[in-house]
Structure 1
Amino acid sequence: MLCFQVLLLLVVVASAAAQRRPYAYRAPESSEESYESSEAKYNFNWAVSDDSSSNEFGHQEARDGDDTQGSYYVQLPDGRLQTVKYFVDGDSGYVAEVSYEGEARYPDSYESFESREYRAPRPVYG
């Protein structure tokens, strides 16, 4: 009886497998018209301002087809604000203009508490 059930199961599986259609790959249908109608268009803007560390940075960009332009800024460790304004030109690629606001400031002594110099932590035993 068990042999008959196994044979019946094999016949059902073979029958189902025989009815499956073979997978046929076709290249996606596309035309220049569909490409042109789906050009990129977006606009975003974000910013971060952390008062405790005086860290400020942000980015904004807009794109409409081939026209892309934007800017980003970051507060540098020396106190200056660096701003980069850019646009993307199809022939020239990425074109950027970098500017700085403020004056660079450095601590009088690198031994001060606010020094940004890295020091390895002292080992603690116990």
Structure 2
Amino acid sequence: MNSMTILACISAAILVNLSSAQHPGAGAPHHGGVKGHHDGPAHYNYAYAVQDDYSGSNFGQSEQRDGYSTSGQYHVALPDGRIQTVTYTVADQYSGYVADVSYSGQAKYGPSHGPSHGHAHSASTV
């Protein structure tokens, strides 16, 4: 590129920048507010699960909430082959989560590898 081409590119960039500063784009869209907003306790339920044999992924969760009363559970496959399940509840707006953790299946471990003692090195003289 010669110096005239570089100067033209810089000039064009400055003009585009000045032009956009004088004519700003449209602002953020306005949706007119949220209708039906409630300040009261939530009411919902949901569930999902993923089981992918190729990757070994196995996990999921479900939860229900009615006002301040919440209950649910989630599970995950552990590396040792067991499934860990956590079941939890919240009784009211003043209590915290109370969890019960359980395990199903039998833990399976691979072959044990003993400590490595390394190789003895002989000192070399020069």
Give the TM-score of the pair, scaled to structure 2. Answer: 0.55
Paired position in structure 1 for 2:77: 75
Paired position in structure 1 for 2:87: 85
Distance (Å, rounded) in 2 between the aligned partners of 1:39 and 1:108: 52
Q: Does 1:96 align with 2:99?
A: yes
One-letter code aligned to 2:101: V
Shift of 1:109: 4.2
Q: Where does 1:23-102 land on structure 2 (aligned, <5 Å)? A: 35=39, 38-90=40-92, 91-102=94-105
Report the number of matched residues.
76
Q: What does the per-residue CA deviation read over 1:83-115, in whole Å, with 9 as the maximum and x for residues that have no partner?
A: 0000013343100000000111111145xxxxx
Distance (Å, rounded) in 1 between the aligned partners of 2:41 and 2:97: 19
Runs (4+) of structure 1 moved beyond 2 Å? 89-92
Shift of 1:63: 0.5
Distance (Å, rounded) in 2 between the aligned partners of 1:85 and 1:51: 24
Q: What does the per-residue CA deviation read over 1:71-90, in whole Å, with 9 as the maximum and x for residues that have no partner?
A: 00000001000000000133
Unaligned regions of 5+ residues in structure 1, if any? Answer: 1-33, 111-126
Unaligned regions of 5+ residues in structure 2, if any? Answer: 1-37, 114-126
Q: Does 1:107 align with 2:115?
A: no
